[in-house]
Structure 1
Amino acid sequence: MALNDPLKKAILNLPTREKDKLLLRLITKDRVLADKLHFELIEGSATVEERKSVIFEHIALLGKTNHSSAGWLMMDLRTLSGEITYHVKITKDKYGEIELLLRMLTTAFATHSEQLSNYNSRTDKCALYMAKKVKLVLARLAKLDEEYYVDFENEVNVLLQYIHSHCTRMYAAQLALPRQWP
């Protein structure tokens, strides 16, 4: 909601004590803003690696979990993807986003290749979801400086091999995903 100029001026002219009270009331209503301020003001950038390691542990659990179908796998992928998105919202860690998404997708393919081997009605939604995530990773990589490409080259190429050889191959072709990167 945009504020009009008279209201902005009135707020700026409030005594400091009243502005502080209003600010604290507003922050408590927005969890993302509160977490972001906590990260920036209290933690600093020192905890980025700790936050990433927690998500890496959750990704490792994905590899250990036995999913009976591609639908259950997709539910876990969506949960992890939400954690990654929240991490980026709070920390603005673009490099970490790519790192985490790559690990999530390669872990899913490596450990659940049986559920993802053949295309059928059960794997359709999961295949589309994973293909779109790969496209997202490639788009995020394109925004990074080229000197970081070396860090991701092997894992991206492994992921592209997976995406073109499992149930996702049809969607990989539709989305024009390359077979080799960069």
Structure 2
Amino acid sequence: MTIPEELKKAIVQMPQKEKDKLLLRLIGKDDNLVQRLEFELIEMGDTVQIRRDDIKRRILKSAQMTHNTPGWMMMDMRNLSGDISQHLKITKDKYGEIELTIYLLLTFFEQQSSLLLIHNSKSDSCAEYIAKRTDSVLKKLAKFNPDYYVDFERDMQQLLNYVHSHCPKNYARQLDIPKNWP
């Protein structure tokens, strides 16, 4: 919604105390904005690694749980992907988004390999999800400064090995995901 010029001028001329109260009420209605301001103004942007580590702990905890089917596992992976997206919204940490997404996929492969070995009707959705997330992270890496590639080389190669040897391999071929990186 666009604010009319007349209203903008009237707001600017309001007493500072009233503007501050109005601003605080408006900010309080947007949880993402509150979290972002807290990160930038209170934490001074110094807690990026702490936030990454917290997400990694949640990923590991979820991956170590017993998942009866690949579908249940995929639901946990999707929830954790949402946490990674929220982390990016708040911190603007693109490096962390890539690192955490690779960690998410690798950790589930390492902890739940038996559910991801064979492609069947139960693992189909999960296989497609993993292949698409892998393709997405490869595209984001391609936009990244190549100097950072060394940071991701070992883990990305391990992820590609899993993707091409487990249930996502058919989707990986369809998406033209490479077998080696970079």
Q: TM-score range by the shorter chain?
A: over 0.9
Deviations 1:78-133 (A, max 9, x none): 11111111111111111111111111001111121111111111111111111111
Distance in 1, Cα, partners of 2:10 & 2:139: 44
In structure 2, C-alpha distance between the alignment counterparts of 1:124 and 1:13, rounded to whole Å: 60
For residues 164-179 of structure 1, what are the structure 2 equivalents within 5 Å? 164-179=164-179
- Which residue in the other structure is 1:9 paired with? 9
* TM-superposed deviation, 1:7: 2.1
Alignment of 1:65-80 (within 5 A): 65-80=65-80
Mapped partners of 1:8, 1:121: distance in 2: 57
Distance in 2 between the 1:100 and 1:33 partners? Answer: 22
CA contact (8 A) 1:116 1:123 kept: yes
Distance in 2 between the 1:21 and 1:154 partners?
A: 51
1:60 maps to 60
In structure 2, distance between residues paired with 1:85 and 1:100: 10
CA contact (8 A) 1:62 1:107 kept: no
1:174 shift after superposition: 1.1
Taking the aligned partners of 2:5 and 2:157, their CA distance within structure 1 comes to: 53
Kindly tell me the number of residue pairs found equivalent between the two proteins: 182
The residue number in structure 1 matching 2:104 is 104
Unaligned runs of 5+ in 2: none
TM-score, normalized by length of structure 2? 0.96
Distance in 2, Cα, partners of 1:157 & 1:166: 14
Mapping of 1:80-91 within 5 angstroms? 80-91=80-91
Counterpart-to-counterpart distance in 2, 1:105 and 1:180: 16
Give the superposition deviation at 1:5.
Answer: 2.1
Structure 1: which 5+ runs fail to align?
none
What is the aligned-residue identity percentage?
51
CA RMSD of aligned residues (A): 1.0
